[in-house]
Structure 1
């Protein structure tokens, strides 16, 4: 696609009606960009809300580890993870800060770092806190770690299975980390609005990010597992 400024310049040299069409296209692009920013903001707001519920569910389950609380926790993990998937294609802007995307979802993990990091933390004599999680690297900090704690069969057959005290500490800390990052991302995207709307490049960047996400979904998440 040619730059909009070049297209408008050419139109101005030819016919007034064509120049009018270019102006109309400019307005259309502006409206689309505003809608994209608002749509992504809505996604980040949903992520922050679901992450808050997830953090609460983790605390509630560890306080009273009954089956109903476990079911609520697992559903909260799924809801929050799906909310993240809706905005994961956005690979520019605030999500680039501090490796936030990797903090939410460390993937792929060919070296099984998630399990190794979990084993280290669970078998360490040091207490697990939010500060420890923040300093432990992206393999510890996001949805895959919670998935490991909830569903890994060897872990769930061991003494460290939930609701073991140390494992619950890790569960709560990681859920809290996701909540904090979700709120940060929501707030920073709102602040980013002015730059996003004023920078023409972000229009094309948004489209490319969406297309890249579709290609990853097709080639790596569907085609590879299906052979």
Structure 2
């Protein structure tokens, strides 16, 4: 990753050659962008997460009360998948209330390279006298608090026979869904009541000195998640060769959402880049005289989505040659997009600051 960073830095003067004398976006433009990002993505994103988790909790309560036939586990599965989709749509926002009290990790501790979560979930399900209440999950390891733990319970091969009223699987799943809902509700409420004002009124905030400064965490949310996708969601799965690739290392493989997660991630990032109205990063770049460069980035987003749309998940732990090749090509494309967006930040005179992943 360090080599990539230096290559981007060396390429920067080439991109800026026609624009360096022009004025960067002004405060009004950044204020308009920040408002659009909040009102069109972040606030509705957290509201959607809370809504879907509320549905998941309600369906689990109904299912585990014995009021429905066990064949209706599919409705619980669907509620889980919709909740995970909502999380993937806002997962790139790693600042503000979601970062307080490690809520981001509590919602989604992954990847679990040492298998800690699997061991802890098995241990939790064997504690017959345990009350899986709010206090239990507040003090529990992050491996027990979020989507991966819920997925292990709901999509385990034995789930249909063990998710029974009064039994540990149901008691744990109900308690966990309530904890996840509470967490999402707190994040949503704090954005509405506090973080929104700090972002939109930096003059009265102790965190941001200007509208441009308030835009920096949004720019981080656009650029840095690509490294997470590349390193964790792709490279960790693929390894250095086809022989090392393991689909069971992929995010959400149990629920069958690995590829859709990537599609949703990229869709959300592209919205931050070019989908907001009336101002977005693409229009800001164009205003700096970089119309062609701005369009090139947008086309790269489209190209990556087309690559993903052509993929099908494997039906066994090993990847076939076609999918392995497709994912490695996608990884290269993600890397290229990351470099392009880094250059775009230079055009806009945005300094993202130190990223611990640059030296990986």
The TM tier, using the shorter chain, reads: 0.7 to 0.9
What is the alpha-carbon distance in structure 2 between the residues aligned to residue 166 and residue 84 of structure 1?
A: 26
CA contact (8 A) 2:132 2:176 kept: no
Which residue number in structure 2 is paired with residue 179 of structure 1?
A: 181
**Deviation (angstroms), 1:202:** 2.5
Which residue number in structure 2 is paired with residue 213 of structure 1?
A: 225
CA contact (8 A) 1:129 1:169 kept: no
CA contact (8 A) 1:106 1:139 kept: yes
Pairing 1:202–2:204 present: no
Which residue number in structure 1 is paired with residue 151 of structure 2?
A: 147
CA contact (8 A) 1:47 1:83 kept: yes
Give the TM-score normalised by the residue count of structure 2.
Answer: 0.53
Cα offsets for 1:138-190 (capped at 9, x unmatched): 1111111110001233xx2898x322611100000000001101111100011
**Deviation (angstroms), 1:220:** 2.2
**Deviation (angstroms), 1:68:** 4.6
In structure 2, list runs of 5 or more residues that go unmatched: 1-21, 203-207, 240-360
CA contact (8 A) 2:46 2:90 kept: yes
What is the alpha-carbon distance in structure 1 between the residues aligned to residue 55 and residue 218 of structure 2?
A: 29
CA contact (8 A) 1:105 1:144 kept: yes
- The match for 2:114 among 102, 108, 111 is 111
* Count of residue pairs the alignment pairs up: 204
Correspondences of 1:13-24 after superposition (within 5 Å): none
What is the alpha-carbon distance in structure 2 between the residues aligned to residue 34 and residue 114 of structure 1?
A: 38
Which residue number in structure 2 is paired with residue 43 of structure 1?
A: 45
Cα RMSD after superposing both structures: 2.1
Give the TM-score normalised by the residue count of structure 1.
Answer: 0.82
Which residue number in structure 1 is paired with residue 34 of structure 2?
A: 33
Correspondences of 1:1-20 after superposition (within 5 Å): none
CA contact (8 A) 2:46 2:184 kept: yes
**Deviation (angstroms), 1:133:** 1.7
More helix by percentage? 1
What is the alpha-carbon distance in structure 1 between the residues aligned to residue 130 and residue 179 of structure 2?
A: 18
What is the alpha-carbon distance in structure 1 between the residues aligned to residue 184 and residue 221 of structure 2?
A: 20
What is the alpha-carbon distance in structure 2 between the residues aligned to residue 205 and residue 55 of structure 1?
A: 32
Pairing 1:126–2:127 present: no
- The match for 1:168 among 167, 170, 174 is 170
What is the alpha-carbon distance in structure 2 between the residues aligned to residue 73 and residue 33 of structure 1?
A: 36
In structure 1, list runs of 5 or more residues that go unmatched: 1-17
- The match for 2:83 among 80, 83, 103 is 80
CA contact (8 A) 2:59 2:79 kept: yes
Corresponding residue SS for 2:142: coil
Runs of 4+ in 1 over 4 A off after TM superposition: none
What is the alpha-carbon distance in structure 2 between the residues aligned to residue 108 and residue 86 of structure 1?
A: 18
CA pair 158-28 structure 1, distance change in 2 beyond 3 A? closer
